[in-house]
Amino acid sequence: ENELNILTMERYLHETSVKTNNSSVDTLALARQEREMNRNNEIEISYGGEADLQRQFEACEKNPGHLEFIPFDKLSTELLPIGYQEDELTDFIKSLSNLTVRVEVRYVSGNRPRTYPGSKRLYPCFSDSGMEMMRVGTGWVYFV
């Protein structure tokens, strides 16, 4: 089944001419299909750059509450759920957010493997090997 998914994705990418920058391609649908293929990876994939990331954020199916996110500078104790409205918790959340980083990659290595070593599990974005595309994720500062 995994090999079938690999072939399906490769065929879809070829047919939509993504690698030739065909402007008629639905880049949101393509990114959604890539995420479905790589469910275990917490990355956001964009074939249409930063503008598509905003459109994907607005159309989020994983967590429709994303639109209710509170900007860091607007976070206050009163905005936390009942039972969690404590200044110490707000300070803790703000401290952790200072360690959060955005990781952005705009190129997929031409040497990207098809599957994880020793398995049949698909390697994220393997079919985009050698291609410029945006992938975004988050992380946190562990050591300085």
The series of mean pLDDT values per 10 residues for the chain, 144 residues long, is: 49 48 64 68 74 72 67 90 95 92 89 88 82 84 86
* DSSP per-residue letters across 93-130: HHHHHTTEEEEEEEE--TT--SB-TTS-PBPTTGGGTT
Q: Are 75 and 57 in contact (CB under 8 A)?
A: no
Predicted local distance difference test score (pLDDT) of residue 63: 64
**Start-end of H helices in the chain:** 2-15, 27-37, 49-58, 87-97
Q: What is the pLDDT of residue 37?
A: 66
| Rounded-to-integer distance, Cα 22 and Cα 97, Å | 39
Identify the pLDDT of residue 41.
62
Under DSSP, is residue 15 helix (H, G, I), strand (E, B) or coil? helix
Contact status, residue 81 vs residue 70, Cβ threshold 8 Å: no
How many Å separate Cα 6 from the centre of its chain?
Answer: 19
Query: Residue 76 has what pLDDT?
Result: 94
Angstrom distance (rounded) from CA 67 to CA 89: 22
- The pLDDT of residue 19 is 45
Neighbours of 111 (CB within 10 A): 7
